[in-house]
Amino acid sequence: MDTLITASDLAREAAGGSPPVLLDVRWQLGGPPGRPAYEEGHIPGAVYVDLEADLAGPPGSGGRHPLPDPAVLGAAMRRAGVSSGRPVVVYDDAQGWGAARAWWLLRWAGHPSVRVLDGGLRAWRETGGPLEMSEPAPAEGTFEPDPGGLPVLAADEAAELARKGVLLDARAAERYRGEVEPVDPVAGHIPGALSAPTAGNLTAGGRFRPAGELAGRFAALGVRGDAPVGVYCGSGVSAAQEVLALELAGMPAVLYPGSWSEWCADPERPVATGADPG
């Protein structure tokens, strides 16, 4: 199953007789919200999906962006025109975080064909792709989520993986080290986790690095053979981009959806700081 699509290939498919459903998932940690940018210009036919409202449950003990109720996810996807029998392409305009969250969630929910636009809106513009301001009104989709298409880690399983396998922390290195923490109440990382910021998965142009380069990066972090691999971040959003990068490298990984925001909500859970895994 392909996980990426180029801007030129998307343009060809969008102009064909069976175009994919396009989802605009612009989102940035701490804002601003993505809808105003969407309204100022988006890929023709794309429907805006609100990550906070549609692709996550209410924040709480399970983290800042816990998995959404399948019924809520299904309703949002049907409003956007998503059906199981029609391919979906997702994009954003940043580091692939929002798009990867949608890609991962739809696969987790059982959709058979979801791809991320490599390079996002920037790549679309660079190839001369047009933008539109009008909001489409797609026909209601038929997608019914069937959770379990991808595995997930609970907090205790993430801790065990940090001891017995490889657990990657996808946040910026300074957050991993505990030097800064702009969002969550506790700074640091899960003991035993390895720092692997998502920025290392992309080229300077914002596209994913070639599969061989990604494989080399992760191998240097200890990802080898059939050893289990898990990924977390602050709230399960940017970690989805790392799971996608690992898949491109031929190294399947499991997401810890609650991530650091769930981990540090329990004062009984240990916290490591500094550059060493701990």
Burial of 186 per CB tally in 10 Å (0-12, 13-18, 19+): middle
Has 264 been annotated as catalytic? no
User: Smallest Cα–Cα separation from 99: which of 241, 243, 255?
Assistant: 241
Helix (H) / strand (E) containing 72: helix 70-79
**83, 126 contact by CB (below 8 A):** no
- Whole-angstrom Cα distance, residue 21 to residue 32? 25
**248, 214 contact by CB (below 8 A):** yes
Which residue type is seen at 30? G
Residue from 233, 244, 254, 264 carrying the catalytic annotation: 233
Give whole-number Cα distances, 33 to 58, 94, 176, 240, in Å.
17, 13, 25, 20
What amino acid positions are annotated as catalytic residues? 233
